Every structure is written in structure tokens, then in C-alpha cells.
Amino acid sequence: MGKVKRAQELAKAQAEAAERDRAAKAQARPDLRDQRDYPMRLQKFLARAGVASRRGSESLISAGRVEVNGVAVTELGTKVDPLHDEVMVDGRVVEWGSKPVVLALNKPAGIITTMKDYSGRRCVADIMPTDEFPGLFPIGRLDIDTTGLLLFSTDGDLGNHLLHPRHHVTKVYRATVWGDVGEVALSWLADGVLIDDRLTAPAKVKVIKRLEGKTILEIAIHEGRYHQVKRMCEEVGHRVEQLERIAFGPVKLGNLPRGSWRVLEGRELEDLYHAAGLHTPDEAPQAGPGVARANARMREMAGRKPLKEES
């Protein structure tokens, strides 16, 4: 079978599987919006498929090097559906989904952090575009009642590195706790409290707001122990009422609506890889000024220490 025919058959099978998946999800969660962003602009498709940056992809299109379903396209606004259309650059089929991706979700409360729940509870797979990005998994966990930033990737190495304590990737939480948190409790939280007979690593803690009978704290930690923030607060006498994660390394929750996701791109994606002590999939590890810059940024994000000195 020819390469083009094979690609067409694959795209058709993917489209059918995606349709089935979508129908099942729509039935399971009629309240969730379908957030797929396709059809998408051709330059976005090329950038996401890892062919070139958005700018570079625009140049390829303008230069007449891109075909959609066998027809040369030079119009930058052209839209394509990755699951139905065949895109070629310089006569070669662009493989959709072969480049690792990272997505950020603003997790709602009431959803568990797992891709499958055998007892039928609502899980993050009900929200995430698993048809478009097969192999997507959550990087770490948030409790069922915790909201906010949860990263997903198809890159297992990235997930492992981001969660490994050696890389000290900071996670920032907004915790609304019961009671008026005093200076002593704040300094205990910052210096370390005993959880399971082991002190927590130093944290950055600040009071964001004092309310009637409650305090809103911002807590930055780089460990990822079980129910860590809730247990830290409880240890100093302040039970958590609400918990939201607002940053994971260089990635901020920002104004991403609750229940929505976005694909990380550009500098934000690079910074995330560098914070994990890794090169991005686009950076050749061996050579070039780009890599020297990436190495420098990687060291900077890892706390201005050579990686090998970290414990």
C-alpha cells in the first residue's frame, strides 16, 4: 500500500475512533464543553505537529511548500482538521500526534485525577482531549476537591523529571484555611512541619487575605507528598477549607477558565522542560548556540546550581 493511502486509512480510523470516544464522553458528561480547537489554522497545525515554529510554518505556506489533500495552499487562514485532512510539506506527509505535547487543565472540584475510574466516578479523562492526543497522562495528582492547575503530557520523561524531588520544581497553592493564622504558625509552615515523622522541606508562605474566621495563604512547595498542603496546615492547627493550585514551575494557571485546558507552546513550554532539567524535543542535545542558551536557562531554572550538585 502506498504511503499516502496508508496515511489516509490511518486518518480515517483515527477519525472514527475519535467520533466514538466523543459520543461516549458526551453521553457521560453532557455538561462539559467540547473544547477541541479544530478545524485549526494550517500554521498552528504545522507548529503543533513539530514541523516548524508558527512563523516558520507561515513561511513554508507562503512559499507554496505545503499541500492539503493534494492541493498546494498559500493562504495563511486555511483551516485543516487533523483527523480528516492530509497535509504534506515538500511532498512528505506530516504525521499528526508524533511530537510530545503538554497541556494545562484548570481542574474543577469533584473530579478525580485518573484517566480511568472503574467505579464510574468522574475523572480527568472526561475533560481532556484524549482522542486528539492519545497517551495523555496527568503529571502528578490533585485531590478530588482541589481545583486548579494540573499538567498533562504524552512525554513520560518530562513527567518523571517534573515530579522527581531532585529537580525541586515549585508548586504554588492558594489555601483558604480556617482561623486566623498567626506568625508562629506561618514560620512553622515555612521552616518545616512533621508529616509521617519527616520534616517538610522549607516552603514559602504568605498571607494573601484575612477574612472573618479564615485566612487565605499562598504556599509554595517543591515536594509532592500525599495531601501535603492540607496536612501541613492541619499540623499547625488550621484545617484547609479550599485548595487551588495556581502554578507548577514556570507554568501559571492565569485566567484559564475552570474545566478548560490549553496546549503549552513556545517559551512557556521550553521553560517547563528546562525546569525539569531536560531539553525540549526540538533542541538537539549536541550542538549550536541555541543549545548553549538552553543549557544556561536550564541551570538558571534549576536554582542556579549545576544539576549534578542537586540532591
Closer to ligand URA by Cβ: residue 131 or 244 = 244
187/173 Cα distance (integer angstroms): 17
Give me the sign of the Cα torsion angle 179, 182, 187, 188: negative
Closest CA to 109 of 152, 151, 138, 142: 142
7-15, 158-166, 227-235, 247-255 -> range binding ligand URA (CB under 6 A): 227-235
Q: How far is the CB of 142 from ligand URA (least distance, A)?
A: 4
Closer to ligand URA by Cβ: residue 151 or 229 = 229
Place of cell 509532592: 224
Catalytic residue among 117, 126, 143, 180: 143
Contacts of 290 (CB under 8 A, 6+ apart): 283
Does 227 bind ligand URA (CB under 6 A)? Our answer is yes
203/300 Cα distance (integer angstroms): 20
Considering only residues 41, 230, 238, 274, which one is a binding residue for ligand URA as defined by CB under 6 A? Answer: 230
Three-state SS across 123-147? EHHHCCCCCCCCCCEECCCCCCCCE
Q: How far is the CB of 47 from ligand URA (least distance, A)?
A: 32
Q: How far is the CB of 218 from ligand URA (least distance, A)?
A: 13
Closest CA to 199 of 233, 174, 238, 232: 232
- Grid cell in block for residue 108: 474543577
Is 143 a residue of the active site?
Answer: yes
Does 146 bind ligand URA (CB under 6 A)? Our answer is yes
Does 222 bind ligand URA (CB under 6 A)? Our answer is no
Q: How far is the CB of 229 from ligand URA (least distance, A)?
A: 4
Does 235 bind ligand URA (CB under 6 A)? Our answer is no
Three-state SS across 265-300? CHHHHHHHHHHCCCCCCCCCCCCCHHHHHHHHHHHH
**Residue 274 half-sphere exposure, CB side, CA atoms within 13 Å?**
26
Does 228 bind ligand URA (CB under 6 A)? Our answer is yes
- Grid cell in block for residue 202: 522549607
Q: How far is the CB of 171 from ligand URA (least distance, A)?
A: 7
R_g of the chain, CA atoms, integer Å:
22
Q: How far is the CB of 228 from ligand URA (least distance, A)?
A: 4
Closer to ligand URA by Cβ: residue 61 or 142 = 142
310/167 Cα distance (integer angstroms): 8
Binding mask 113-142 for ligand URA (x = CB under 6 A): -----------------------------x
Does 243 bind ligand URA (CB under 6 A)? Our answer is yes
225-233, 257-265, 274-282, 291-299 -> range binding ligand URA (CB under 6 A): 225-233
Considering only residues 46, 162, 229, 253, which one is a binding residue for ligand URA as defined by CB under 6 A? Answer: 229
Closer to ligand URA by Cβ: residue 43 or 113 = 113
176/106 Cα distance (integer angstroms): 18
Does 143 bind ligand URA (CB under 6 A)? Our answer is yes
In the complex, the residues that contact ligand URA under the rule CB under 6 A are 142-143, 146, 227-230, 243
Residues identified as active-site:
143
